[in-house]
Structure 1
């Protein structure tokens, strides 16, 4: 889990150019009577930001007001204060971090957004940092014409088509959700119910924190966070899957993301965190 510009497993970049990987949407099958495949929306870079070492996105819950302070979602291991320890949860930590807001086509930088605080960060059970900004959703839309991405409040499904959108690289990776890891272990950290990609999403360093967008809805279902680089078992940069019986599986070259559907239940009016709200399952 290097938070350096070399690493991928949990952070920044490994090479000096952007790579865009795309795959076709799932086929409709050969039978004439087969149900048509769901429509695939055209994902763009609206709401996408670049951090100094990672990627991220401006996100909102379905019930948030446009007058609420905007939120930026990235990985827990991308926080500027260093990797949270196993079991550590950070809430309401002051921050003045800046984020480069990208244009819809991803080719230009529209402006700079600034954090007011980290409302939540952890690498326990999941790998997320949520920043509260000094500007509201409405102000961002009025100034830049950019709307936030919406967080899905539903568990994602295996087989759905997804785009992983990297603000750091201004690149997009397209594939499907292959399945879910009961537990994903990397060094001393353990994440629950992680999303496993199919191989076309060959994510690299710098894509950490990228939103995982379900293309049938346009909603965020996960946050990109690691890949098994070298085929090692449960080591730094080489996560392994551990099933309910303790069995260990590794998938060299395969990337993972952490689900985000549980986040909305932990947020309240004003873009504040409340870990004691009914239905909130984030680590406390």
Structure 2
């Protein structure tokens, strides 16, 4: 995992993980997207956590007066990494996030009221609900949220991984998709593999992966193979649809986010029973 940073840089403990999507391999760009045009990507809408990166995100149905949501990795939770199969829902939180402007300057801080959803199963995501609305954040800081895409990302698409923690942008392309990515006790589905140019590091965990054509969030940065080991912590391995295991030392990964909007309804309220929602459910609600 692109491990979260704990304490000072001298005592950094790195860590990361994945996100949701249906298993797939070769995905073409939607016909209505012109891949020859690109949008400038900056830090507006991103945040820095105490140990990771993140972003203020909205669903396509989110309204200005809805409580703003902040997205990061599940392994970045202040309560520690969720175990395999564990799902966190509606957990009180007072975590604060440093809001950045387009040039990575500090604007101020916003605070969470709860962890709306978090897991490291099938994906690696945490979504915090804050005490501020999108309209309040825009009025006070001039910052709009990043929008989550609802289409599966495309192979070859240009992407920017925007780290609020390091105030750095990594640019590369989507090299392909991994049916199953295994790391330690965790397993993630339909992960995004970067081309080698995106050399993400600890602290970049939770960074939004922005499609440079649409300007929307296509995935969330989470992990990479550091030492060439197979399926161990910080050394994820790829498992194809036939069960073959492959290791790519130095290659980094993200988890798709296009399925998340189907799990949030009116008022940005989480609804894991909504039609089309595939996020893992807490054990007590599984059927």
TM over 0.5: yes
Answering whether residue 234 of structure 2 is matched by residue 237 of structure 1, we say yes
Answering whether residue 212 of structure 2 is matched by residue 215 of structure 1, we say yes
Helix, strand or coil for the counterpart of 1:77?
helix
Unpaired runs of 5+ in structure 2? 7-11, 18-33, 282-287
Counterpart for residue 23 of structure 2: none
Helix, strand or coil for the counterpart of 1:140?
helix
- Map 1:86-125; keep pairs closer than 5 Å: 86-106=84-104, 108-125=105-122
How far 1:246 sits from its partner (Å)?
1.1
- Map 1:62-77; keep pairs closer than 5 Å: 62-77=60-75
Q: Distance in 1 between matches of 2:126 and 2:278?
A: 15
- Map 1:173-184; keep pairs closer than 5 Å: 173-184=170-181
Q: Distance in 2 between matches of 1:166 and 1:4?
A: 13
How far 1:9 sits from its partner (Å)?
4.5
Helix, strand or coil for the counterpart of 1:280?
coil
8 A Cα contact 1:9 1:229, kept in partner: no
8 A Cα contact 1:45 1:103, kept in partner: yes
Answering whether residue 8 of structure 2 is matched by residue 10 of structure 1, we say no
| 1:173-216 Cα deviation digits (max 9, x unpaired) | 00000001100000000000000000000001100000000000
8 A Cα contact 1:224 1:256, kept in partner: yes
Q: Distance in 2 between matches of 1:205 and 1:95?
A: 23
Counterpart for residue 41 of structure 2: 43
Helix, strand or coil for the counterpart of 2:111?
strand
Helix, strand or coil for the counterpart of 2:135?
helix
Q: Distance in 2 between matches of 1:182 and 1:7?
A: 28
**Higher RCO structure, 1 or 2 (CA under 8 Å, sep 6+):** 2
TM-score of the pair, normalised by structure 2: 0.88
How far 1:221 sits from its partner (Å)?
0.6
Unpaired runs of 5+ in structure 1? 12-35
* Number of residue pairs the alignment of both structures matches: 259
Q: Distance in 2 between matches of 1:154 and 1:75?
A: 20
Helix, strand or coil for the counterpart of 1:92?
strand
How far 1:4 sits from its partner (Å)?
4.2
- Map 1:23-42; keep pairs closer than 5 Å: 38-42=36-40
How far 1:37 sits from its partner (Å)?
5.3
